[in-house]
Amino acid sequence: MEILFEDKSVIVCLKERGLLSQEGKEGEPTMLSLLSAHTGGEIYPVHRLDKEVGGVMVFAKTKKAAADLSSQVTDRTMEKEYITVAEGSPEEKEGTMEDLLFFDRSKNKSFTVKKERRGVKKASLSYRV
């Protein structure tokens, strides 16, 4: 695990593909367990990346930093940028894709849905090839 930045409140690191961001099965390594072992203290997740995705992640080392960073995620003042490698190419060289997402707590998974209803959030992705 590569640590890009660390101070008394925050740790920024590179998550490898195949590694869970947060809790997993007992004994399974996760970013939280690796960072906790590295720092010798508690680590608080601020956001997550799916297991299959690698990239830069921000974690808090204090409850106050976790609350402050989580507020930035919620009010969208923390900017996230995704770069991907894909097979094929969209016809348009840039654009926006929109969908409706529903998080099913019983399956701990998000699904696309066709209609707005309680618990459904709009998702928007701007892209440039």
pTM of the complete model beyond 0.85: no
More confident residue, 71 or 25: 71
Mean pLDDT of 12-35: 87
Model confidence band, residue 62 (pLDDT cutoffs 50, 70, 90)? very high
The pLDDT tens digits of the residues spanning 76-119 come to 898 888 887 778 888 899 999 899 999 888 877 888 999 998 88
Instruction: Determine which one of 50, 68, 75, 104 is catalytic.
Output: 50
Model confidence band, residue 3 (pLDDT cutoffs 50, 70, 90)? very high
Model confidence band, residue 22 (pLDDT cutoffs 50, 70, 90)? confident
75 part of the active site: no
For residues 45 and 59, is the Cβ–Cβ distance under 8 A?
A: yes
Q: State the pLDDT at residue 1.
A: 80
